[in-house]
Amino acid sequence: MARRLIILLLACFGVSLATARADDVKVLTAGAMKPVLLAVADEFQKVSGHTMSVDNDTVGALTKRIAGGAAFDLAVLTPAANEELSKAGKIMRAGDLARVGISVIVKAGAPQPDISTLAAFKQALLQAKSIAYIDPASGGSSGIYLAGLFQRLGIADALKPKTKLKKGGSTADLVASGEAELALQQNSEIAFAPGVTLVGPLPAEIQNYTTYAAGISTKPQSPNAALALVAWLMRPAMAPVLQAKGMLPPFVSVIPKSGHRFSEKIMLQQKAGA
């Protein structure tokens, strides 16, 4: 349905991917999607003629900026944030782009803890000298979820004295520098960072997938280019790009694999007519 909507919008506005007028699309994005956007920027420019300016922050921070009148053409946020901003008249929702789960990393060369089961995961956190994750107060999706998870698991008080909270960006910096023994964050933001090793995803029963959706500004400076970029990001050909950056297409099931690594096999379960 979302892809049909974009095609309809493109037709209504008389826009094609290849256009005589080249514009710069100003994109505000959650950090998890930044690597994907940067990966496709050159090809998008080659095909469409449009350039892309990418500014990233936490979903909470971006929501506040947009609500406060920040200028942008396209925002990549969670569906809930898009819904909130849509009701405020700031965004036109355009559809889901990707989703990503939370993973654990350690410093490169360090022993990898067992996180294959919920019990093992809890023990790994309790035994670690220090852990890091995104500060929930900054509005980061993974930090908000993890803070609630630790409360539900009954380990929040034990972890608090040794927790390093990061306001934004990648917690991999804290692990690579030795400030934290392990870190937890959305896979696309930490899995390929230098100086760290990916241990694997959270156990299935506590894994949390964050979906990222596109929203077009109600007052865009480059409306045609924004529509063209959304159409580009919704192509089926984006699936391998997403996977290469540690993410999944919005409608995907992961086939478990022994050990802690993400499965290399996935089943694309596109919704009928999507």
* Statement to judge: residues 201 and 131 lie in one domain: yes
pLDDT at residue 168, rounded to an integer: 82
Q: What CATH number does residue 147 fall under?
A: 3.40.190.10
Residue 273 domain-assigned (yes or no): no
Q: What is the domain extent for residue 195? A: 102-206
User: What is the C-alpha to C-alpha distance for residues 100 and 215, in angstroms, rounded to an integer?
Assistant: 18
pLDDT at residue 5, rounded to an integer: 52
* Statement to judge: residues 45 and 6 lie in one domain: yes
Tokens at 40, concatenated: 């496709």
Residue that is last in its domain, among 206, 231, 248: 206
* Statement to judge: residues 157 and 232 lie in one domain: no
What is the number of structural domains in the chain?
2
* Statement to judge: residues 149 and 178 lie in one domain: yes
pLDDT at residue 14, rounded to an integer: 44
* Statement to judge: residues 85 and 140 lie in one domain: no
Strands, E assignment, the chain: 24-30, 51-57, 74-77, 91-100, 102-107, 131-134, 163-166, 182-186, 196-201, 210-217, 252-254, 266-268
Q: What is the pLDDT along the chain (274 residues), one digit of tens a residue?
A: 444 555 445 444 444 555 546 789 999 999 889 999 999 999 999 999 999 999 999 899 999 999 999 999 999 999 999 999 999 999 999 989 999 999 999 999 999 999 999 999 999 999 999 999 999 998 888 999 999 999 999 999 999 999 999 998 899 999 999 999 999 999 999 989 999 999 999 999 999 999 999 999 999 999 989 999 999 999 999 999 999 999 999 875 443 332 333 222 222 322 333 3
Residue 234 domain-assigned (yes or no): yes
Residue that is last in its domain, among 206, 229, 258: 206
Residue that is last in its domain, among 167, 184, 206: 206
* Statement to judge: residues 114 and 95 lie in one domain: no
Residue 63 domain-assigned (yes or no): yes
pLDDT at residue 26, rounded to an integer: 97
* Statement to judge: residues 92 and 140 lie in one domain: no
Q: With beta carbons less than 8 A apart as the criterion, state whether 257 and 265 touch.
A: yes
* Statement to judge: residues 186 and 215 lie in one domain: no
* Statement to judge: residues 256 and 202 lie in one domain: no
Residue 274 domain-assigned (yes or no): no
pLDDT at residue 250, rounded to an integer: 86
* Statement to judge: residues 221 and 138 lie in one domain: no
Indicate the pTM of the whole model: 0.77
Alpha carbon distance, N-terminus to C-terminus of the chain: 5
* Statement to judge: residues 20 and 56 lie in one domain: yes
* Statement to judge: residues 163 and 83 lie in one domain: no
Q: Give the distance, in angstroms, between the CA of residue 272 and the centroid of all CA atoms in the same chain.
A: 25
